[in-house]
Structure 1
Amino acid sequence: MSIEIWIVYLLATAALSLTPGPNSLLILSHGATYGVRKSLFTSLGGAIGFALIIGICMAGLGALLATSTLAFNIVKWVGAGYLIYLGIVTWRAPPLSAQPEFRTGSANRYKLFIQGFMAAASNPKGIIFFAAFLPQFVDPNGSQILQFFVLAGTFVCFEFILEIILAVSASKLAPWLAKSKVGRWFNRITGASFIAVGSLLASAEK
């Protein structure tokens, strides 16, 4: 892969990462609720989930989802069900506290990691998108392993940095959210958004 192709890929990666999605919504929720440090585990889970998707697509399994209705529907319903589950859990969560020590003490780091991973890895539309997107930048005559590390590393690093920025922003706003009327509805708005995204995914066609 030439440096010119990599720069084009980096710009495409930036545009893709800046598009709102389940992981952006999740990290905003976790940043406001649990603080930045524990949200790192959410971002790490999402990074590994995205790396897995890229690996699957480069292995050719993304094409299976694009051609097999059964495989697509299985992954679709798993992803939709998980997002709806996250929405219900978030909706029912206690209101935000204005005190950081009360916001950071109740999170299980492994659970946050799994949520980040699942939000990234269980979206069949994401897999199909990468299956169509990545071949534009892969040199069939080059090392597939090396190109995987370059492509996955570039996207994962950019996405991870963006999610940290979102987590920091949400954490800074959390005290204001906790004191304002908006804060009282933060969990419900976020939970409803998860449910809406999950419902849209459930109704998606190939």
Structure 2
Amino acid sequence: MSLQTFLIFLPACLALNMVLGPNNVLSMMIGAEQGLKPAAIAYLGRFFAFSILILITALGLGTLLAASAQVFLLIKFIGAAYLLWIGYQLLRSKSETLDHTSQTPPQDFKTLIIKDFNIAIANPKAILIFTAFFPQFIQLDHYWADFFTLGVSFLCLEFFAVLCYAILGAKLITVLKRENLGLINKASGVLMIVFGFALAFVKKPSA
């Protein structure tokens, strides 16, 4: 891959990373509730999920999965159901449990990592991005080197997006004040439900 090609890839990839999706909403919510460090650690879940999907795509299985209507539907509905469940949990959560005076402890790092992993791995749109987007920048005679470069770049830019959304969440809560943190939870819950329904109606691209 030439330097020129890579420089075209970076801003295009960053635009994909910065799109407001369920994982980025989660990062914003964690940033508001617990701060930048927990959001950054939760990224490990997304890192492992996307690394798996990138590897699957590199091995050529991504095209097979993208072409399989049954597998696509299965992953799609699992992902949609998970987002709807998270949205429901957020909507029914009580605002007082988010206050510093509450006896309810913040979510531990393991829980945050698992949640970020589950959201990322159960989204079939991610593997479609890797299958349709990455090959445009890959030279066949440098296939593995190019795929590795693009994959690492994607994961680094994804971490940048995590930090941006976590900082945004932290800034929002300074404006809304800590006692209004429940508003972010409720808004995040609504967004998760919207994403869940949107994912449920995503159609598999025709071959």
Corresponding letter in the other structure for 1:205: K
Q: Distance in 2 between matches of 1:204 and 1:10?
A: 26
Q: What is the root-mean-square deviation of aligned Cα atoms in Å?
A: 2.3
Q: Distance in 2 between matches of 1:41 and 1:27?
A: 10
Q: Displacement of 1:176 after TM fit?
A: 3.4
Q: Distance in 1 between matches of 2:108 and 2:123?
A: 24
Structure 1 unaligned blocks of 5 or more: none
Q: Which structure 2 residues correspond to residues 44-193 of structure 1 after superposition, within 5 A?
A: 44-95=44-95, 97=98, 99=100, 105-144=105-144, 146-178=145-177, 183-193=181-191
Corresponding letter in the other structure for 1:160: F
Partner in structure 1 of residue 31 of structure 2 = 31
Q: Distance in 2 between matches of 1:72 and 1:137?
A: 25
Q: Distance in 2 between matches of 1:194 and 1:86?
A: 7
Change (3 A) 1:103 1:23: farther
Question: What is the TM-score with the length of structure 2 in the denominator?
Answer: 0.87
Change (3 A) 1:188 1:109: same
Alignment partner of 2:91: what SS?
Answer: helix
| Cα contact 1:83–1:195 (8 A) shared by 2 | yes
| Cα contact 1:87–1:191 (8 A) shared by 2 | yes
Alignment partner of 1:31: what SS?
Answer: helix
Corresponding letter in the other structure for 1:120: A
Q: Distance in 2 between matches of 1:116 and 1:41?
A: 10
| Cα contact 1:91–1:191 (8 A) shared by 2 | yes
Query: Could you list the per-position Cα deviations for residues 69-121 of structure 1 after superposition, in whole angstroms to 9, with x for gaps in the alignment?
Result: 1010111111111111211222223327564x869942111110011112222
Q: Distance in 1 between matches of 2:178 and 2:141?
A: 58
Change (3 A) 1:103 1:189: farther
Alignment partner of 1:142: what SS?
Answer: helix
Corresponding letter in the other structure for 1:192: V
Partner in structure 1 of residue 202 of structure 2 = 204
- 157-166 or 170-179, which moves further after superposition? 170-179
| Cα contact 1:95–1:178 (8 A) shared by 2 | no
The aligned length equals 203
Alignment partner of 2:106: what SS?
Answer: coil
Change (3 A) 1:157 1:102: farther
Alignment partner of 1:117: what SS?
Answer: helix
Query: Could you list the per-position Cα deviations for residues 109-157 of structure 1 after superposition, in whole angstroms to 9, with x for gaps in the alignment?
Result: 111001111222211122112201111111111151x333211110111
Corresponding letter in the other structure for 2:58: M
Identity of counterpart residues, as a percentage? Answer: 33
Alignment partner of 2:38: what SS?
Answer: helix
Structure 2 unaligned blocks of 5 or more: none
Q: Distance in 2 between matches of 1:103 and 1:74?
A: 39
Alignment partner of 2:19: what SS?
Answer: coil
Corresponding letter in the other structure for 1:57: T
Q: Distance in 1 between matches of 2:115 and 2:130?
A: 21
Q: Distance in 2 between matches of 1:70 and 1:148?
A: 27
